Amino acid sequence: MRQTCVNMVHELARTDPRVVFIGSDLSPGMLDEMKAEMPMRHYMEGVMEQHLVGMAAGMAMDGMMPFFNTIATFITRRCYEQVALDLCLHDLPVRLIANGGGLVYAPLGPTHLAVEDFAILRALPNMTVTAVSDAEEMKRLMRATLSWPHPIYIRLGKGGDPVISKEENGFAIGKGIVTRPGAEHGNVLLLSCGIMTAHAQTAADLLAAKGHSVEVIHIHTIKPLDEALILRRAAAADSVFTIEEHTLIGGLGSAVVDLLIEQGPVRQIIKKLGLTDSFVKNYGLQDDLLEINGLMPPQIAAAVEKTLAAAGRAS
């Protein structure tokens, strides 16, 4: 997903003169072809992320569309003031490409795990927050950025994630995608984002095998949220589960719960599945940490059944 994303910057730059790439001490050779082809639109700077957000803001004020790429935690934690005041306050079309979203950098521990990025960025006015499911959907998102006038946060997976998105489903920023339709009434609704949509679909298969009617909606844009779609499909559901590779505080689940409560009255079972409110103490692979947090497909299916059983609504 990461390589696809940065390659798309080069592709977009060939058709749109506004596009510029800014990297913060990234891999040697990153977009060397773009550097050779258009040297005045490729910048590989040092470890100075706060400065580079300001640099991107200045370029955007001069009519450019910068794509700034570095590690997710450096964009969100280290540069929060600059993102808020340089980008969002001025509502500038800068694209923040965040390597290692969620638990991708599991071997590096809590300093590199971007598990609160949705929460802190969706709190900023004008910010758009995205987490696509795979490399092919990343291509569609990157093309859509050219016509989006606001700052965008683009969370990247680790690369090599299974391709589950489909061209025929289309893509628009702020519009969810029904990847598995459910029944007209009484279904289990799973709302997921990023790579967790693949896990949600597998969990849905496991639940369907046990007699549940399950609908899956991929919410690739956490902000702005597709409120109309969520409200419409939640109205047809007896239970709503949100699934995310993010802390349970302030992410997709919180956005959905806020929406449903504000639109009330709420009659559905609502359950958020995500990461616990604690710093990660374990090291390993991304899937190891997902399993510790109960976010592998069999665990998701089991959590759904346990929640339904506790409410007296088992299949």
pLDDT tens series, the chain, 315 aa: 888 999 999 999 999 999 999 999 887 788 999 999 999 999 988 888 999 999 999 999 999 999 999 999 999 999 999 999 999 999 999 999 999 999 999 999 999 999 999 999 999 999 999 999 999 999 999 999 999 999 999 999 887 889 999 999 999 999 999 999 987 777 899 999 999 999 999 999 999 999 999 999 999 999 999 999 999 999 999 999 999 999 999 999 999 999 999 987 888 999 999 999 999 888 999 999 999 999 999 999 999 999 999 988 655
Q: What is the reported pTM?
A: 0.95
Which stretches of the chain are assigned E, i.e. beta strand?
19-24, 42-45, 65-71, 95-99, 128-131, 152-155, 177-180, 187-192, 214-218, 221-223, 237-247, 269-275
d(Cα 68, Cα 49) in Å, to the nearest integer? Answer: 9
What number of other Cβ atoms are within 10 A of residue 112's Cβ? 18
Supply 73's token pair: 């935690």
What does the domain layout of the chain look like in residue ranges? 2-155, 167-310
CA distance 48 to 86: 15
Q: What is the β-pairing status of strands 65-71 and 177-180?
A: unpaired
* Alpha-carbon span 201 to 179, nearest angstrom: 8
Contact 275, 224 (CB under 8 A): no
Contact 238, 143 (CB under 8 A): no
Distance in angstroms (rounded) separating the CA atoms of residues 191 and 249: 16
Architecture of domain 2-155: 3-Layer(aba) Sandwich (3.40)
Task: Report the alpha-carbon distance of residue 99 to residue 1 in Å, rounded.
Answer: 10
Judged on CB neighbours under 10 Å (0-12, 13-18, 19+), 208 is middle
pLDDT the model gives residue 193 = 98
pLDDT at 224: 98
Peptide bond into 181 cis (omega under 30): no
The pLDDT assigned to 125 comes to 98
pLDDT value of residue 311:
83
- What per-residue confidence (pLDDT) applies to 230? 97
Domains 2-155 and 167-310 share a fold: yes
- The whole-number pLDDT of residue 55 equals 96
pLDDT at 235: 92
What residues are paired with 190 via a beta bridge?
Answer: 216, 241
What is the CATH number assigned to the segment(s) 167-310? Answer: 3.40.50.920
Question: Tokens 């506004």 map to which residue?
Answer: 18
User: What is the reported pLDDT for 102?
Assistant: 96
Spatial distance between the Cα atoms of 37 and 193, rounded to a whole number of angstroms: 35
